[in-house]
Amino acid sequence: MKEILSLSNVTVDYNRNGNIVRAVAGVDLTLKSGEILGLVGESGCGKSTLGKAIVGILQPSQGEVVFDGQTVKKLTRGQRPNHFRNLQMIFQDPYGSLNPRRKIGIQIADGLLVAGVPKDKALARAEELLEKVGLPRAAVFRFPHQFSGGQRQRISIARALAASPTVIIADEPISALDTSSQAQVANLLVSLVEEFNMGMIFVSHDLSIVRRISDRVAVMYLGKIVEVGTVDQIWNNPSHPYTKALISAIPHADGTSFMPKDLPGDVPNPLNPPNGCRFHPRCPLKKSECEDNEPKLVKLSDDRSVACILQKAGTPPNPILIN
């Protein structure tokens, strides 16, 4: 599998009344074709901001996003280089991301029209795409309000597919949907990734869905990646205390009255992040050096990466023991 997307030291700052809020603080990440990378973390950790920076909705203040050999630049009013048409995004809220006053067909065809495809051909392609995502062809003549949330999210997916993307950034694509539609839309995304050999970054706070559909998982905390590994590594043998805490907090729906463990405290304010390791104020395994030294993301011998002083580069992961 070839590497299609790579991020190096991506940093995103928001300016809030003159204060600089560093929402993403230096992220290194890669994505291969045909791979689904789950991006998880608590709300406020910067996962959505990172997603927006990858497609160029936000401009990183440092670092760069390289897509298929070229650096992604911020979206402007002018035309975007054709190269980046293959990098698409799906948003969380299918009610807000579709224009309520325009017909579905023309909204899907927009991207093709910009690329110079004649209108009749673009609309015909829109019909095909609707069929692909499991909606009737006649939907091109309807408006968004005539569809349910799950159907609207399918329309958003069809719109993203119109550009024949090689990478899709899906920002919480199923969390606004009903239980019944969640599984159906997730299944659709998985089958599309397989069919078109796309790469997908699946941003979600629903850890159980991420576990099921992802190949690799990146865990984010306060703007930084703390651990990246395969689903099996993250779930069964986490090597960062935060990953461990996150996994232990998931309730088990098995009727055994298993009590999930909470992680006391809140994600700190990114305006004023803690010194040293950003997780140390909440970490049950904190040592004194964690307060001053910020751990670097290092690769362990089992090919995962983790940023914690308990782990040493090139060695097998030390088990994280929290009672």
Partner 1 sequence: MDLLTVKDLTVTLATGSGDAQAVRNLSFTVGLGEILGIAGESGSGKTMTALSLLGLLPYKGRATGSINFNGREILTSTKREYRDLRGREIAMIFQDPMTSLHPMLTIEVQLTEHLIHHRKVSKEAARRSALELLSIVKIPDPAAALTAHPTQFSGGMRQRIAIAIALACEPKLLIADEPTTALDVTVQAGILKLLHQLRKDKNLSVMVITHDLGVLSSLTDRIMIMYAGSEVESGPTSDILQRSHHPYTKGLIAALPGKVKAASKNLTSIEGMPPELGNFPSGCAFHPRCSFTIDACKKELPKKVEINGEHRIFCPVNPFSKSGKGIE
32, 201 contact by CB (below 8 A): no
Q: How far is the CB of 208 from partner 1 (least distance, A)?
A: 3
SS3 46: coil
**Cα 272 off chain centre by:** 25
3-state helix, strand, coil in the chain (%, to 5): 35, 20, 45
Q: What is the DSSP letter of 257?
A: -
Instruction: Classify residue 19 as exposed, middle or buried by CB count within 10 Å of its CB (0-12, 13-18, 19+).
Output: exposed
* Among the listed residues 18, 81, 251, 314, the single contact to partner 1 using CB under 8 A: 251
**Which of residues 43 and 79 has its CB atom nearest to partner 1 in the complex?**
43
Q: What is the DSSP letter of 24?
A: E
**Type of residue found at 73:** K
Q: How far is the CB of 317 from partner 1 (least distance, A)?
A: 19
Q: Which residue has the tokens 């580069």?
A: 313
246 forms part of the interface with partner 1 (CB under 8 A): yes
132 forms part of the interface with partner 1 (CB under 8 A): no
How far apart are alpha carbons 263 and 284 in whole angstroms?
Answer: 9
* Among the listed residues 18, 116, 264, 314, the single contact to partner 1 using CB under 8 A: 264
**Which of residues 117 and 231 has its CB atom nearest to partner 1 in the complex?**
231
* Among the listed residues 120, 255, 272, 323, the single contact to partner 1 using CB under 8 A: 255
Only one of the segments 97-105, 247-255, 292-300, 302-310 lies at the binding site for partner 1 (rule: CB under 8 A); that segment is 247-255
**Which of residues 162 and 246 has its CB atom nearest to partner 1 in the complex?**
246
225, 29 contact by CB (below 8 A): yes
**Which of residues 21 and 207 has its CB atom nearest to partner 1 in the complex?**
207
Q: Which of residues 140-169 bind partner 1 (CB under 8 A)?
A: 148, 150
* Among the listed residues 178, 291, 292, 302, the single contact to partner 1 using CB under 8 A: 178
Only one of the segments 27-35, 79-87, 103-111, 201-209 lies at the binding site for partner 1 (rule: CB under 8 A); that segment is 201-209
Residues in the interface with partner 1 (CB under 8 A) total 46
75 forms part of the interface with partner 1 (CB under 8 A): no
Q: CB under 8 Å to 85, separation ≥6 — which residues? A: 111, 115, 163, 164, 165
186 forms part of the interface with partner 1 (CB under 8 A): yes
User: In the chain, what's the furthest Cα-to-Cα distance?
Assistant: 67
**Which of residues 7 and 192 has its CB atom nearest to partner 1 in the complex?**
192
Only one of the segments 89-97, 100-108, 114-122, 230-238 lies at the binding site for partner 1 (rule: CB under 8 A); that segment is 230-238
SS3 132: helix
Sign of CA dihedral 306, 311, 313, 317: negative
- Smallest CA-to-CA distance from 102 within 93, 112, 110 is with 110
How far apart are alpha carbons 211 and 204 in whole angstroms?
Answer: 11
* Among the listed residues 70, 82, 99, 180, the single contact to partner 1 using CB under 8 A: 180
Q: How far is the CB of 213 from partner 1 (least distance, A)?
A: 5
Residues at the interface with partner 1 (CB under 8 A): 36, 42-43, 148, 150, 178-184, 186-187, 190-191, 205, 207-209, 211-213, 231-232, 235, 245-246, 249-264, 266-267
